[in-house]
Amino acid sequence: MKKTITIGSDHAGYSLKIKVIGHLKEIGWDVIDVGTNDESSCDYPDFAHAVCKNIQDGVTELGILICGTGIGMSMAANKHHGIRAAACSDTFSARLTREHNNANVLCFGERVVGYGVACDLVDAFLNAEFQGGKHQRRIDKIMDLEKTEF
């Protein structure tokens, strides 16, 4: 059974997104690309929203967001209920964010990582599994914050 992932980028991540889509297909994933579709200047929150909406609606369980650094995308994504997005630039963090934080969105930046590292990040993220246990208690506390007004 093929797995499906949603991916999006702004103009600063477009070139790397196209390459990452190729990698995802090579390793057996179906990909829903929510844009952008070229390098024309655009607003990253629009694409963060599109990826997160697919996850919230149950279209896919996981997403990838690419911008210049990954930071803006992760900030925008984490405003969505049920989303745990992490900006990663090393494979240790990409693996641990799934194992310990049960992240459902991986973010990274085209200006920070190249194609090889991006593929390694994707592989580490997708091959890791949530460990549960004490980590579930911590995730529950994070998710409870969405119910609280500060």
Q: Give yes or no: 23 in active site.
A: no
Confidence of residue 149 (pLDDT cuts 50, 70, 90): confident
Number of structural domains the chain divides into: 1
Helix (H, G, I), strand (E, B) or coil at 26: helix
Catalytic one of 23, 42, 100, 135: 100
Q: How does residue 1 score in pLDDT terms, banded at 50, 70 and 90? A: low
CATH code: domain of residue 8: 3.40.1400.10
Among residues 67, 88, 107, 119, which one is catalytic?
67
Mean residue pLDDT across the chain = 97
Q: What is the pTM of this model?
A: 0.97
Give the model confidence (pLDDT) of 31-80 as tens digits: 999 999 999 999 999 999 999 999 999 999 999 999 999 999 999 999 99
Task: Please check whether residue 144 is in contact with residue 86, taking contact to mean a CB–CB distance below 8 angstroms.
Answer: no
Q: Is residue 77 a contact partner of residue 47, using CB atoms and an 8 Å limit?
A: no
Low-confidence winner among 20-29, 59-68, 138-147 (lowest mean pLDDT): 138-147
Are the CB atoms for 106 and 94 separated by under 8 Å?
yes
> For the residues 75-90, what does the mean pLDDT come to?
97
Its domain, for residue 104, covers 3-147
67 is catalytic: yes
